[in-house]
Amino acid sequence: MNSTPPEVNDSSVSANRYLVLVGGLLVFIVALLAVLWVQERSRRITAEVEIKRLQLQAARKDAFQTLMHNKLGGLRIDPVRREDLPPEKSNFSGKPATTPATKPGAIP
């Protein structure tokens, strides 16, 4: 009996290698897509939670402003603008300077 191995067809070996390579790449792509999907899902959930938090904060701000408007009886308080403050002479880092008055009672 002759114990020589049967001839292996080169085309079947290369076809098997090709299938293994393509299969491995497909598994890699599916795994990568799964990771990306999980990351994007996490980001979406985080963004939705942040939006809800900001909406609640805006609602609280509106409620506070309404309450203050009711408490003040419709009195409107204008913000203090830097240009409206009277100038005063001061000493800034050893040099004379003109700055807006910041002492209590300086606002007319």
Helices (H) and strands (E) in the chain, counts: 1, 2
**pLDDT score, position 50:** 97
- Structural domain span for residue 36: 12-78
Q: How far apart are CA 13 and CA 18, in angstroms?
A: 9
The answer to whether 85 and 99 have CB atoms below 8 angstroms apart is no
Provide the number of structural domains found in the chain. Answer: 1
Question: Which residues have CB under 8 Å from 90's CB, separation 6+?
Answer: 96, 97, 98, 99
16 falls within a domain: yes
Please tell me the number of Cα atoms within 13 Å of 43 on its side-chain side: 6
> With a threshold of 0.75, does the pTM exceed it?
no
**pLDDT tens by residue, the chain, 108 residues:** 555 555 556 677 788 899 999 999 999 999 999 999 999 999 999 999 999 999 999 999 989 888 887 777 766 667 777 777 788 888 878 888 888 777 665 555
37 falls within a domain: yes
